[in-house]
Copies of this chain bind each other. A is one copy, B any other.
C-alpha cells in the first residue's frame, strides 16, 4: 500500500496581507525509506510569525522560502519507520519538517524528546524555539534585576507568556500588552503577570502609564508600532529593549518608531536578535524551561487547529492576533 503525504507548498508571495491562495495543498506518494533514513509522522506543526518574513523575497536575515516547496516550520511527532541506528519506531521527536504530515530525514536536525513529564506539543512552544527566544532576549539582552519593571507585548503568546513568567521568577514586576479583555485576564490571572494592558481598549499609553508607576526598565518587543512607542515613552534611564518581532509591520507597510530621540534622551539600549543565531544557549535554556514546565511553574496555552488543510487559515489568524497562546496545527 502506497502511503500518501499531504503537504502545503508556498504557491505565491503575498503582496500585502497573506491570503489563502498563497498556499497550495498537494498529495505526494511517499518513496520507500532509504538506507540511514528515518520517517516521522508529524503530530503537531508550529505556526510562528517569522514564517511571514520567509514568504517575502525582501532582503532579510534568512533566505526566502522557495516557491512550490513545502512551507518551513517546526514539527513534533513520532518515528513510524527507521533505517537509522539512533531512532527507533515509537520515539518522539522534534524537527523542522515543515507543513506536512510525514517527514523523512537522515537524522540531521532531528532530536528525541521525552514526553513523560512535558507534553509533546510543548516542545514547539514553551520548551521549544518560542521559549528559548523568551529566555535569550530576557536573560541576555534585558538582563533584569529583581524589582525592575519588564513590559512584554503579545503577552499571551508563545514567546510573551514565557517572558513575563521568567521575569516574575526573577523578582520583577511583569506587565503585558495584549489584545482584548480575555487575553488580559489570562495574562494576569493564569500567567501571574502584575498587570496587562489591552491595546484594543483605545487608551494604550495612559493604561500603560497606570500599569508602570515606576517606569519601565526592560521591554521585550514582539509587535512594534503604537505599543513600542508607548513603552519607550515610559522607559527609565538605561533601560533595555530586546527587539524580537515587529508583527505590526509584517504585511508590507513599515511601521515607524515615532520618537527615536527617547533612545538618546533615556540612554537606552535596543537590540534585535534571532534566536537561531545563539545555539550555544539552547541546551541551558531548554533544560531550565523543561524543568519549569514539568514542575508546573511555567504555564502556557495553545490554540490548536485541526488538520493540515486548516494551517493557512490558522496562520492568517495568527498574524492578526486571533490565536490565544501558542498556535499549533494538529496533524493526526
Residues of A within 8 A of B (CB): 53, 59-61, 224, 228, 237, 243-246, 249, 254-261, 263-274, 277
A269, B267: Cβ atoms closer than 8 Å: no
A270 in complex: contacting residue of B228, B245, B254, B263, CB < 8 Å: B263
B-side contacts of A277, CB under 8 Å: 267
A224, B261: Cβ atoms closer than 8 Å: yes
A256, B258: Cβ atoms closer than 8 Å: yes
A264, B246: Cβ atoms closer than 8 Å: yes
Min CB–CB distance A52 → chain B (angstroms): 12
B61, A237: Cβ atoms closer than 8 Å: yes
Min CB–CB distance A280 → chain B (angstroms): 15
Known: A61-B237, A237-B61. A261 touches B255 (CB 8 A): yes
A261, B246: Cβ atoms closer than 8 Å: yes
CA gap between A237 and B261 in the complex, in Å: 23
A269, B266: Cβ atoms closer than 8 Å: no
> 6 interchain pairs (CB within 8 A)?
A254-B259, A256-B260, A257-B257, A267-B271, A267-B273, A270-B270
B61, A266: Cβ atoms closer than 8 Å: yes
Nearest B residue to A277 via CB reads: B267
B-side contacts of A260, CB under 8 Å: 224, 228, 243, 246, 255-257, 260
B-side contacts of A237, CB under 8 Å: 61
B-side contacts of A272, CB under 8 Å: 263-269
CA gap between A237 and B273 in the complex, in Å: 10
B-side contacts of A267, CB under 8 Å: 61, 271-274, 277
CA gap between A269 and B228 in the complex, in Å: 16
Nearest B residue to A240 via CB reads: B271
Nearest B residue to A243 via CB reads: B264
Nearest B residue to A267 via CB reads: B272
B-side contacts of A270, CB under 8 Å: 263, 269-271
Min CB–CB distance A25 → chain B (angstroms): 30
Min CB–CB distance A241 → chain B (angstroms): 9
CA gap between A61 and B271 in the complex, in Å: 21
B-side contacts of A254, CB under 8 Å: 258-259, 261
Min CB–CB distance A83 → chain B (angstroms): 39
B-side contacts of A244, CB under 8 Å: 264
CA gap between A244 and B267 in the complex, in Å: 9
Known: A61-B266, A237-B61, A267-B61. A249 touches B261 (CB 8 A): yes
| Chain A to chain B: the 9 pairs with minimum beta-carbon distance, closest first | A264-B272, A257-B257, A257-B260, A256-B256, A254-B259, A263-B272, A246-B261, A269-B271, A243-B264
Extra contacts, 13 of them, besides A61-B265, A264-B273 (Cβ < 8 A), are A61-B267, A224-B260, A243-B264, A245-B264, A246-B261, A246-B264, A254-B258, A254-B259, A255-B261, A256-B257, A268-B271, A269-B271, A270-B270
